[in-house]
Structure 1
Amino acid sequence: MELSPVSTCARFHHIHPCPTPLSFPIFPRVSTTTSSSGSGSGRGSQRSSAAAGTPALIDIPCNDAQKSGAADAQRRHSKPYLARKDAILQVQKSPHLGSALQRLGGVLKVQDLNVILRNFGQQSRWQDLFQLFDWMQQHNKISASSYSSYIKFMGTSLNPAKALEIYNNIPDELTKTNVFICNSVLRCLIRNGKFDSSMQLFRKMKHNGLIPDAITYSTLLAGCMKVKDGYSKALDLVQELNYNGLQMDSVMYGTLLAVCASNNRCEEAQSYFNQMKDEGHSPNIYHYSSLLNAYASGGNYKKAEELVQDMKSSGLVPNKVMLTTQLKVYVRGRLFEKSRDLLVELDTLGFAKDEMPYCLLMDGLAKAGRIDEARSVFNEMKGKCVKPGGYSYSIMISSFCRGGLFEEAKELAAEFEAKCDKYDVAICNAILCAYCRAGEMESVMRTMRKMDELAISPDYNTFHILIKFFCKEKLYMLAYQTMEDMHRKGHQPAEELCSSLIYHLGKIKAHSEAFSAYSMLKYSKRTMCKAFHEKILHILIAGKLLKDAYVVVKDNAKFISPAAIKKFAKSFVKLGNINLINDVLKVIHASGNKIDQHNQFSAASQRLFQMAVSRYIAQPEKKDLLLQLLQWMPGQGYVVDSSTRNLILQNAHLFGRQLIAEILSKQHMMSKALKSH
């Protein structure tokens, strides 16, 4: 960042004759940005090199402290300096930013505008921030620091798309690989849950010339905490930073421990903790807390107690987070007496003024089936004037639902709605579950409207609760519409629920909707029960959706019984698309269901061929399909029966007598050969 001498004049009283390393980066202007050869050597070296490569706003010779101090004081009282100082204050306070910039923009330098930019960001004045940055771009008063700060605030305002747009539109390719700008973009994406996008961009940045520093890797490591296979992704990053000659610092170790904890890697967390100490890094409260979190995933209370004791021996005092995490360890290990004792200690220390520690114990008790004890903790919390929120209510409502206490669940849901105004998807799901189990349709609809009003996006559990409820209320089309919405949102329906809905849709003759629900499940990543294919086949046949039925048979014939395939074949040849009859017969043959006298098709096989021939004769324009069928049959060991043969001969003039005679002659020879066997 660039530091304006105008807005931070008080800090210059502490300037030393020889500049000391700054605690923040200083960037050159875009037009003069150069890459630092030492950017991969660590945070301190990079900051120093960045500072050294930047034209100083106030040039202070290192060999003359008194002269530099006098020059500094003189500049502070110069007219240009005072004019800039006044201009900064006016722009920051102006209710009309555009007019203020029009009047005062000529006085302000890039570093002054950066100060105003950061001021707007720190005060969350997003519209002013956007307007100022646009003005800076238009008037070419912009530096790398401007980009870095602006992108950082885009992450704070939850606008990663805008941050990416700004980054991609940076005109100078060298500036786009400035490590501070790149770090800001990556941090913005990570902060907004865009880990995959951040990794793709990181690879592109490296290809374009970025030399990542320790902060780059620390930022990406932090993103591994909340993604699938985060531990393996973190290992790849650690290997890469080591390959690039960078060293793990205490911040990175803390992040890596947190990644291990979030991925249930207890042993690995312990190993990294020991490695960190062996390398000379002193663990702080954050490291201990992260390792304790790893122990919590398995309820390893003995190691947790040893760790807390080790921390105390090192002179660190357990804080609220540490003790709350230890409580979680006890709860996971179902050591409820120890949990209660620790909760009392938290309360005594003043660390139990919110619902979290109570919720941990309540949740553990409820999941252990000790609902009465969980209710007692909930009431104790309210008795101590600790305001319950959505988390505690959702725990208790859900536990009542699991225990079959539907009236109590409904009453507690109504109590939350009356007393609380902060909703999230977890409490909404609990409330929906309570009202659904109690059969309160009006309350269910009211809760759904509430979610829409508050822009709370439903998750997998929301859809599951609603579909199950609508099926119970025999509102099968509403259940189907909810499943469609679920699918559009990227959630995969559970097979058991989907199967039940498909069955009921078939019963009410909603055959097309049943097939759509089947397709949602089939093309999801879930494993599908083999019997499911035959179930949907019967529904499609009943609904005369024979083209869809053909797709099911074609893709899954090996999972469908011969009787079901026989039923499908008869229906399709009789009523299906005439252009697909030959294809259907070939698929049935290829599936191992040979259509001849020696298996389950026997007499039915002749009826199939007879029906097919009859349909072709009824539409002479389909003569090519009839000829193709008759030519295909002998090669597979099939012949027409005498009645079908006579029917063909009677209509031979429609297809060419000579050709029909040749084909039937071959079939006759095949028939003799079959009889001889």
Structure 2
Amino acid sequence: MLLCVRPQGSLNLPMHQHDLSSRPNFKFFKLEGPSMEIDSKYLQIDSNFRSRAQTWALKSVEQNMGACSVFGKSIVALFSPSSFPTPEPASNGNRRIHKFRNRQSAILQIQESSDLASALARHGETLKVQDMNVILRYFGKLNRRRELYQVFDWMQQNQMINVASYSSYVKFMGKSLSSVEAVEMYISIKDISTKFNVSVCNAFLSSLIKNGKSESSLKLFTQMKRDGLVPDVVTYSTLLAGCAKVKDGYYKALELVQELMSNGLQMDSVTYGSLLSVCASHKECNEAAKYFQKMKDEGHSPNVYHYSSLLNAYSADRNSEKAEALIEEMRSAGLVLNKVIYTTLLKVYVKGGFFEKSKELLKELEALGYAKDEMPFCLLMDGLAKSGHLLEAKSVFDEMMEKQVKTADGYSYSIMISAFCRSGLLEDAKKLASEFEEKYEKYDIVILNAMLSAYCRAGEMENVMSMMKKMDDSATSPDWNTFNILIRYFCKEKLYLLAYRTMEDMHRKGHQPEEGLCSSLIYHLGKTGAHSEAFSVYNMLRYSKRTISKALHENILLVLIAGRLLKDAYVVVKDNAGFISWPAIKKFAVNFLRYGNVNLINDVMKAVHSSGHKIDQELFDMAISRYIAKPEKKELLLRLLKWMPGQGYVIDSSTRNLILKNSHLFGHQLIAESLSKQLVVSKKVKPHKENAR
């Protein structure tokens, strides 16, 4: 048999296998034109190729053909049927090589396919989970999140997934994986060994922190430990990093450090770096210095990141002397001061009000090439503006514009426009805002808020509406500050319903209003008769998952009573009776017993009793009078009379006489039984009262 492979053929063979002179025992037929002749024995190296060649050859034999081609025009064979040799069996090593090459080919085809779903369906089953992880990381490194999701979804559906799959997917998805999705995915992991693998847990905790959900990460961590996670140093470093941005984060960080040590783990340089960052964020300057020294005492060499964190702590403390000493220490240690270090030192000088030093350092930054973007200029500009040095701030801005410093997001414009607005220089602010809009063809939310705030302070309603229209036209989404500015302005102008509608929009967009602002709006809405709107504002706060002041419950109760929204008032009392004064509860009870739904009277009486206050005779008289006026509600009256003795309550003689007078409406026997129980209780209660005297 003769095989001839053309140069453009699909086989990629080493050159020594093209040397046919070393194969004297085989016969070859030479074809015309450019070609490479290949020994049929070579087919053993690629069993897939050999199998297809055999099929092609056998078909040719059956058709009694002397020649045929396979794989298009790439391979041509001339043979006589009797000369077709029986291939030698391939070795196990060759089979492994063949399978490996097939898998490599499949990986490449999936990665390069324009139709990923089809490629996965065609080649996925031939691959192992580690091959799929290679594909997963390939798309992750290219930031192709759509394909990343598609591959991971296919892996889940085909149960071709392991620890590395989850870790890689969560890592590469980053902020694209919402906190809700991350938690749901983690909970859905069925394999226990995977679910509590420390690498998998660390990946999910890190994802939550990157999405700004540090509180959620701490809660999930607690659940993970309860279910079987054994955390490592990376776990604690990850959680410590999240503590920098949460309330009371410093104290939570200390708890984590204590837990780390209790578990027999040791702080490393990464853990110390995270802890220093937490100290800086929470202005714990002395603690940062203490941990920095402790880290060095334990033999960890601080790097630029550690020095930067400590410098940040000094900037919060406005301690330029310690900052300068730290810079000298870095130089002595042979560390190169980078842009981050210089910029942080600039922040120290600016916050401390050392503006001459700040200007000198800015020049040094420029000379080193570290001031090519606007950030260093903005630090100085903002510090000057907020310290009342508006002209100097504008001078820095003009210098920056003259030097054509890169201003990618227009932060410098935001600083100056806000400064002009705070100083009441609205014309200067408008001029600069127009320049910004022309230069960037957009409006920045910070600039819009600054302009909006200035117009609101000046009471220029027309310009306020103009700015709101500009936001709509430019498709700029309002942020928390925008809503806060508008609501305060509308309240100031006594446009309370407009303020309420703005707060509704704010709530729909996921922003939480301030309690003080809500309380003020509730009061004014109540005064203007918008009682249901006031209750809606109360509910926005109530369901915001944060603690609200006790006084607010009583305030909304009084508003609801005034508007006779008594069913809503009942809910407020039932849920918050412990925070409401007795006079307010009594006022509610009187109004409900007089005007409220008769079917809820017994529930109201129980709620009042549960508040810790004794129900007086007046309230019982009112309740029984309501029932007597509605004989069809006799079951409710009987339940009330039955409930009272168990709580130590009895009716007075006048109320008893009223019930007896109308007993024909409710059934003489039932009334007699209920009143006899009342009488027994009254005899027990009376001696107690006399003894008390």
User: TM-score of the superposition, structure 1-length normalised?
Assistant: 0.69
Query: Comparing 418-427 with 172-181, which one deviates more in the overlay?
Result: 418-427
Q: Report the Cα distance in structure 2 between the residues aligned to 1:227 and 1:127, rounded to whole angstroms.
A: 31
Report deviation, 1:321.
0.9
Give 1:399's match in structure 2, choosing from 419, 440, 456. Answer: 419
Q: Does 1:446 align with 2:469?
A: yes
Cα distance per residue 1:9-52 (max 9 Å; x no partner): xxxxxxxxxxxxxxxxxxxxxxxxxxxxxxxxxxxxxxxxxxxx
* Cα pair distance change 1:580/1:151, threshold 3 Å: closer
Go from structure 1 to structure 2 and tell me whether the alpha carbon gap of 1:479 and 1:411 turns closer, same or farther (over 3 Å shift): farther
- The equivalent of 2:333 in structure 1 is 314
- TM superposition shift of 1:260: 1.3
User: CA–CA distance in 2 between the matches of 1:587 and 1:213?
Assistant: 50
Contact 1:154 1:160 in 2 (8 A): no
Matched to 1:362, the amino acid is M
Judged with a 3 Å threshold, the aligned counterparts in structure 2 of structure 1 residues 273 and 513 are, in CA distance, closer, same or farther, namely same
Deviates more, 1:139-148 or 1:308-317: 139-148
The equivalent residue for 1:220 is 239
**1:374 alignment partner in structure 2:** 393
Q: Could you tell me which amino acid in structure 2 is paired with residue 366 of structure 1?
A: A
Report the Cα distance in structure 2 between the residues aligned to 1:499 and 1:168, rounded to whole angstroms: 39
Read off the aligned partner of 2:496 and give its amino acid letter: Y
Hey, what's the Cα distance between the residues in 1 that align with 2:250 and 2:472? 39
- Answering whether residue 486 of structure 2 is matched by residue 466 of structure 1, we say yes
Residue 343 of structure 1 pairs with residue 369 of structure 2: no
- In the superposition, relative to structure 1, how do residues 411 and 579 fare at CA in structure 2: closer, same or farther (>3 Å)? farther
Aligned residue for 1:385? 404
1:116 pairs with 2:121: no
**Which residue of structure 2 aligns with residue 276 of structure 1?**
295
1:155-174 matched pairs, under 5 angstroms: 155=174, 157-159=176-178, 168=187, 172-174=191-193
Conserved? CA contact 2:186–2:204, under 8 Å: yes
Moved more, 302-311 or 161-170: 161-170
2:525 to 505, 516, 524: 505
Task: Tell me how far apart the structure 2 counterparts of residues 583 and 266 of structure 1 sit (CA, whole Å).
Answer: 56
> Would you say 1:285 and 2:308 are equivalent positions?
no
Pair 200,581 (structure 1): closer, same or farther in 2 beyond 3 Å: closer
Distance 1:373 1:656, change over 3 A: same
Give, as a single letter, the amino acid of the residue that structure 1 aligns with 2:317.
Answer: G
The alpha carbon displacement at 1:257 in A equals 1.1
Structure 2 unaligned spans of 5+: 1-92, 680-685, 687-693
In structure 2, distance between residues paired with 1:134 and 1:592: 59
Q: How does 1:202-601 map to 2 (within 5 A)?
A: 202-206=221-225, 210-388=229-407, 389-420=409-440, 426-427=446-447, 429-437=449-457, 438-439=460-461, 440-449=463-472, 453=475, 456=477, 458-459=479-480, 461-487=481-507, 492-518=512-538, 520=540, 525=546, 528=549, 530=551, 539-540=559-560, 542-546=562-566, 548=568, 575-577=595-597
Q: What code does the residue aligned with 1:391 have?
A: Y
Contact 1:534 1:561 in 2 (8 A): no
The residue aligned with 1:29 is: none
Amino-acid identity (%):
61
Q: Is the 8 A contact 1:578 1:615 kept in 2?
A: yes
Query: Which protein has the larger Cα radius of gyration, Structure 1 or Structure 2?
Result: 2
Q: Which amino acid aligns with 1:191?
A: K
What amino acid maps onto 2:472 in structure 1? R
Instruction: Provide the C-alpha distance between the structure 2 equivalents of 1:585 and 1:106, rounded to a whole number of angstroms.
Output: 69
Are the aligned partners of 1:505 and 1:511 in contact in 2 as well (CA < 8 Å)? yes
Tell me: CA distance 1:299–1:639, structure 2 relative to 1, closer, same or farther (3 Å): farther
Matched, 1:180 2:199: yes
Which residue identity is paired with 2:501? Q
Letter in 2 for 1:359: C
Contact 2:437 2:443 in 1 (8 A): no
Q: Give the CA deviation at 1:274.
A: 0.8
Tell me the secondary structure at the aligned position of residue 247 of structure 2: coil
Alpha-carbon distance between aligned partners in 1 of 2:187 and 2:561, rounded to the nearest angstrom = 55
Q: Give yes or no for contact 1:288–1:307 (8 Å, CA) kept in 2.
A: yes
**TM-score, with structure 2 as normaliser:** 0.67
SS of equivalent to 1:150: helix
Q: For the structure 1 residues 593 and 465, does the alpha-carbon distance in structure 2 shift closer, same or farther, using more than 3 Å as the test? A: farther
Structure 1 position 506, deviation (Å) = 3.4
Residue 96 (structure 1) aligns with: 115
User: Once structures 1 and 2 are overlaid, which stretch shifts more, 170-179 or 215-224?
Assistant: 170-179
- State the Cα deviation string for residues 442-485 of structure 1 (Å, max 9, x = none): 3343355368x46x5733x3331121233345442231133234
1:640–1:428 CA distance, 2 compared to 1 (3 A): farther
Alignment correspondent of 2:691: none
Deviation digits for residues 328-375 of structure 1 (CA, Å, limit 9, x no counterpart) = 112222222222222222223222222222222233233333334333
Which stretch shows the higher mean deviation, 329-338 or 290-299? 329-338
Per-residue Cα deviation, 1:226-254 (whole angstroms, up to 9, x for no partner): 22222233223333333343332222222
2 CA distance for matches of 1:475 and 1:444?
18
Contact 1:471/1:479 (8 A) holds in 2? yes
Residue 133 (structure 1) shift: 3.6
Distance 2:127 2:626 in 1: 88
Give unmatched runs, 5+ long, in structure 1.
Answer: 1-73, 597-604, 671-677
Shift of 1:396: 3.1
| Shift, 1:428, TM fit | 5.1
